[in-house]
Structure 1
Amino acid sequence: MSSLEKKVIDFIRRHDLIKRGSRLLIGVSGGPDSLALLYFFVRRRNDWRLTLSAAHVDHMFRKESLEEMKYVEEICRQWGVPFFGKRIDVPAEVEKRKGNPQDLARQMRYAFFREVMEKNGIETLALAHHGDDQMETMLMRMTRGSGVEAAAGMRVQRDFAGGRIIRPFLCVTKEEIEAYCRKNGLQPVYDPSNEKEIYTRNRFRKHVLPFLKAENRHVHDHFQRLSEFLHEDFDYLETLAKKEMKKIITNNNKERIGIKIPDLLRLPRPLQRRGISIVLGHFRKDGQPSPFSIRHIEAILDLIGGPRPSGELNLPGGLTVTRVYDRCIFHYGFPQETYCFEWNPTEKLALPNGGELYSGRPVKSAALSEKEYFFLDWNNTALPLYVRTRREGDRIRQKGSGGTKKVKEIFIEAKIPIHERNVWPIVTDAAGEILWIPGLKKSSREASGEDGENATVLIYRRNTTTREEKMDESRH
């Protein structure tokens, strides 16, 4: 038994990666790492009673790739390992989707692995990432400012396709793998793109890792140990953060999440960061790397903890973070278009903010607040009515005082979020005089509820989500 095999077997046992009788799918590109991994398991197939299969994806980046797939298939035939192969025209997909070639290739490769595992009842996918890969990954992610989980690198094992992904080679170096291939007469294929310095990973491999290895030849062991410690710490704190965030998140759907700022700020700073990371994870697209870094998390916490009562951040992917007093909303945008509708009160009017206006007879309802209805005197109102968004310089003649007040001040005093002010309905007469700001303020033009045949009650209903949010806000 070689030294590499001893290390890998100890690593597998320490992390409980494989049980006797397991069904394994091994990702095999044909390069030194994956070919060595396949050979390692073939040698242990009988002793460990393993059922092995191999999966290979031809991404069609290079003209030689089809021959490489045939080569891997032939090796699998010689070693008695069932082979699953697929050609995917990634360059065509890149042209179609305008995405990153390496990211798209990875997404499609893992989708194929998932498909093979689910169709064939295979519970474990073994990948050949090694200690050098781990160092490169951690250094690259730390350099670009990733969060703790990402900077911790690749997990030894993680959930995937109803089973697991395992990485038994994280305990060995690239040099050890290449020596293992030579010793056992393995003839891997080599991808020339691994030498091109246009790729960040290759630059780290060629220029950074040699320096670290010269300083300490066991440096990969230290990186791997650090990775495992960081993941363990992260998982523990993540559990605590998820428990706390259940109390802090006020609404949750595909497009929008709200959180209570005072409750978040009461948490220790590490849990605040993880809480924000949990919220951002909700907006991460399946199979794609997160576009959010620790820099974004800190910017959000600065917005939340800063002295200004309102503000906004624009994040990658079109995500917006809006602070509104003691609430913070993560969203993909709100309707911001101005509008002006001519309104016949005998017909219900659906509004862009999700609310609606309609009319009825002049009867008071316990279900309505005093600001959600308006008594209109037909004989003393210039028709038609208009419903529009706010305009610069808008003022309303206040009921009772006789004086006027800026609409902007009314919004501020009511703590209406900026994005809601922009679409809030304002009812005017034909001359443009503001009669009513539904839900907020009535003008002195409102009639008495006892005006009989000459009066109609205008009613405003806000959408359910917004009403619930405002009720929740009023309790804090």
Structure 2
Amino acid sequence: MNSRRQISPPAERIRREGLFRKGGLYLIALSGGCDSVSLLFLMKELAETEGFALHALHVNHGLREEAAADEDFCTELCRRLAVPVSVYREDVAAVSKRDKISLEEAGRECRYRRLREMADVLLADAVLTAHQRDDQAETVLHALLRGSGLSGLCGMEKWRPFGSTELIRPLLGFTRAELEEYLRGKGETWREDASNTDEGYTRNYIRRTLLPQMEERFPGAAEHVSAAADHLREAGKTLRRLADDWLAENARGDVLSLEPLSRLDPGLLFFVWRQFLARTGLRDLTRVHFDSLKELPGKPAGTRAVLPGGRSVIREQEGLRLVTENERPEPETLPRLEIRTFPRPAALKIPDTPYTKWMDCAIITHDICLRHRQRGDYLILANGKQKKLARFLVDEKIPLGERDSLWLLADGPHILWVVGHRLSYAARITESTETVAEVKISL
């Protein structure tokens, strides 16, 4: 007999996606509007049947006369549902003025900052926001009307990294009408933001005028726009993976090889730059920045493209180097390499530590050295075939920013040991091994 407590069809739709773990803690962004109130009720249903905990967070922007009433509504709702809630009051107008951004952007910055902070305090498994399918269509149309590239047209992802945790949007498959129907069926109310009727805001115009007209002329328009964004997002993932593969072969630390870059397909070039610069936290780049980077290979050596955050890319003779103004790189210290040999014992008890390995001494030559990766490096696999080191690092999901700092025990281009990770199959101890070499690295 199934002992699972009966849940509503909308909650069951979310449950089937397997987004939440038993024993987890999830932080909900709660504004008091229809979408976030629906999310709170749906997650409350699932928390009781799936065995996880909730915490809500409300940010009072201090912009509207109704802000205090919104705050009271949220705290009372959470009290009624026995969901802990944290409330923050922010001077969004002051943030907007200080940072020279719109009130909408400032409000978003304040909310997301508080969500990141609270997620850290609670050690939350994820932050949940109530974006739904109509929001997705608005986001994509807004990006299209602003002339955004592929990244903007991909819309919002259901899951993405968020500070030290992740952000999940469980309602992206629901329409606003479905959520309203869900709450009305429960006899519940929500708060309405009067500013959402002001069509002076582009997103409000898209929501209130453009999308309804599109739906009238093309029924299902919002769903189709969202579906198109899903397809574009998959294409974007493929391009990012191809860009990562290219960088694994052609990036060395903060330098891009010039000759391969000049042969790169223009459709991939944007993603190569985007992935390369994202390693340093540079994400909010404009088309002007990318245009200057695209032109840089054709400029004389010494020319630089200026980027935000005090960073630049400089054209060198054979590469393009990312630099930070007034940077002073620390001199690198070579790790200590110790090799001890002894006869192969009858009973093998090979140490399972990341920085000590046993190898067949026959593989050790006078040409071995400890170094960082170079073009042409490879490992030997169990099937005896060679595998490019660059491909190995991608498959092992070693972060791009760490690959150039990995220490390698190398015999020419043959990598005997990716220190801290993998030993080449050719270096393993076998029945025919006569002498064991214990190789120890002290970082």
* TM-score relative to the length of structure 1: 0.60
Determine the C-alpha separation between the residues in 2 that align with 1:119 and 1:173: 32
Q: Is the 8 Å Cα contact of residues 291 and 317 (structure 1) preserved in structure 2?
A: no
Counterpart for residue 284 of structure 2: 290
Deviations 1:166-213, CA, capped at 9 Å, x for gaps: 111111112222232322222211111111122221121123211222
Identity rate of aligned residues, in percent?
28
Question: Which of 11, 16, 22 is residue 13 of structure 1 equivalent to?
Answer: 16
In the alignment, residue 41 of structure 1 is paired with which amino acid?
M
In the alignment, residue 133 of structure 1 is paired with which amino acid?
D
Residues 38, 233 of structure 1: CA spacing in aligned structure 2 closer, same or farther, 3 A cutoff? same
Aligned length: 323
CA displacement at 1:32 relative to structure 2: 0.8
Equivalent runs, 1:101-140 vs 2, <5 Å:
101-140=103-142
Matched residue of 2:50: which SS?
A: coil
**Residue 278 (1) aligns with residue 272 (2):** no
Residues 219, 13 of structure 1: CA spacing in aligned structure 2 closer, same or farther, 3 A cutoff? farther
Determine the C-alpha separation between the residues in 2 that align with 1:217 and 1:296: 39
**Residue 160 (1) aligns with residue 152 (2):** no
Equivalent runs, 1:381-460 vs 2, <5 Å:
none
Q: Is the 8 Å Cα contact of residues 315 and 321 (structure 2) preserved in structure 1?
A: yes
Residues 330, 195 of structure 1: CA spacing in aligned structure 2 closer, same or farther, 3 A cutoff? farther
Determine the C-alpha separation between the residues in 2 that align with 1:196 and 1:291: 30
Q: Is the 8 Å Cα contact of residues 27 and 119 (structure 2) preserved in structure 1?
A: yes
Determine the C-alpha separation between the residues in 2 that align with 1:83 and 1:132: 27
Counterpart for residue 396 of structure 2: none
In the alignment, residue 83 of structure 1 is paired with which amino acid?
V
RMSD value, Cα: 3.1
Farther-moved stretch of structure 1 (28-37 vs 313-322): 313-322
Determine the C-alpha separation between the residues in 1 that align with 2:213 and 2:204: 14
In the alignment, residue 328 of structure 1 is paired with which amino acid?
L
Equivalent runs, 1:93-242 vs 2, <5 Å:
93-242=95-244
Determine the C-alpha separation between the residues in 1 that align with 2:218 and 2:9: 22
Determine the C-alpha separation between the residues in 2 that align with 1:32 and 1:176: 11
Counterpart for residue 293 of structure 2: 300
Determine the C-alpha separation between the residues in 2 that align with 1:149 and 1:206: 25
In the alignment, residue 104 of structure 1 is paired with which amino acid?
A
Determine the C-alpha separation between the residues in 1 that align with 2:36 and 2:249: 46
Determine the C-alpha separation between the residues in 1 that align with 2:40 and 2:96: 30
**Residue 328 (1) aligns with residue 320 (2):** yes
Determine the C-alpha separation between the residues in 2 that align with 1:272 and 1:150: 17
Farther-moved stretch of structure 1 (319-328 vs 36-45): 319-328
Determine the C-alpha separation between the residues in 1 that align with 2:274 and 2:70: 41
CA displacement at 1:308 relative to structure 2: 7.5
Determine the C-alpha separation between the residues in 2 that align with 1:231 and 1:317: 28
Determine the C-alpha separation between the residues in 1 that align with 2:70 and 2:151: 35
Determine the C-alpha separation between the residues in 1 that align with 2:268 and 2:189: 49
Question: Which of 238, 245, 248 is residue 247 of structure 2 equivalent to?
Answer: 245
Deviations 1:426-448, CA, capped at 9 Å, x for gaps: xxxxxxxxxxxxxxxxxxxxxxx
Q: Is the 8 Å Cα contact of residues 260 and 327 (structure 1) preserved in structure 2?
A: yes
Matched residue of 1:66: which SS?
A: helix
Counterpart for residue 63 of structure 1: 65
Deviations 1:393-421, CA, capped at 9 Å, x for gaps: xxxxxxxxxxxxxxxxxxxxxxxxxxxxx
Matched residue of 2:167: which SS?
A: strand
**Residue 46 (1) aligns with residue 51 (2):** no
Determine the C-alpha separation between the residues in 2 that align with 1:193 and 1:202: 9
Deviations 1:91-119, CA, capped at 9 Å, x for gaps: 22233333333223222211211222221
Determine the C-alpha separation between the residues in 2 that align with 1:65 and 1:184: 25
In the alignment, residue 286 of structure 2 is paired with which amino acid?
F
Matched residue of 1:171: which SS?
A: coil
Deviations 1:311-346, CA, capped at 9 Å, x for gaps: 6656677765554565435567799xxxxxxxxxxx
Residues 311, 127 of structure 1: CA spacing in aligned structure 2 closer, same or farther, 3 A cutoff? same
Determine the C-alpha separation between the residues in 2 that align with 1:103 and 1:219: 27
CA displacement at 1:19 relative to structure 2: 3.0
CA displacement at 1:21 relative to structure 2: 3.8
Deviations 1:201-240, CA, capped at 9 Å, x for gaps: 1121123211222244333333333333332332233133
Determine the C-alpha separation between the residues in 1 that align with 2:269 and 2:285: 19
Counterpart for residue 379 of structure 1: none
Equivalent runs, 1:334-373 vs 2, <5 Å:
none
Residues 86, 334 of structure 1: CA spacing in aligned structure 2 closer, same or farther, 3 A cutoff? closer
Counterpart for residue 377 of structure 2: none
Determine the C-alpha separation between the residues in 1 that align with 2:163 and 2:311: 28
Matched residue of 2:63: which SS?
A: coil
Equivalent runs, 1:309-320 vs 2, <5 Å:
none
Counterpart for residue 387 of structure 1: none
Counterpart for residue 441 of structure 1: none
* Higher radius of gyration, 1 or 2: 1
Matched residue of 2:31: which SS?
A: coil
**Residue 23 (1) aligns with residue 25 (2):** yes
* TM-score relative to the length of structure 2: 0.64
In the alignment, residue 292 of structure 1 is paired with which amino acid?
T
In the alignment, residue 50 of structure 1 is paired with which amino acid?
F
Q: Is the 8 Å Cα contact of residues 259 and 329 (structure 1) preserved in structure 2?
A: yes
CA displacement at 1:140 relative to structure 2: 1.4
In the alignment, residue 6 of structure 1 is paired with which amino acid?
P
Deviations 1:279-321, CA, capped at 9 Å, x for gaps: 3435656xxx72424x6535532453x5888866566777655
Determine the C-alpha separation between the residues in 2 that align with 1:168 and 1:154: 12
Counterpart for residue 451 of structure 1: none
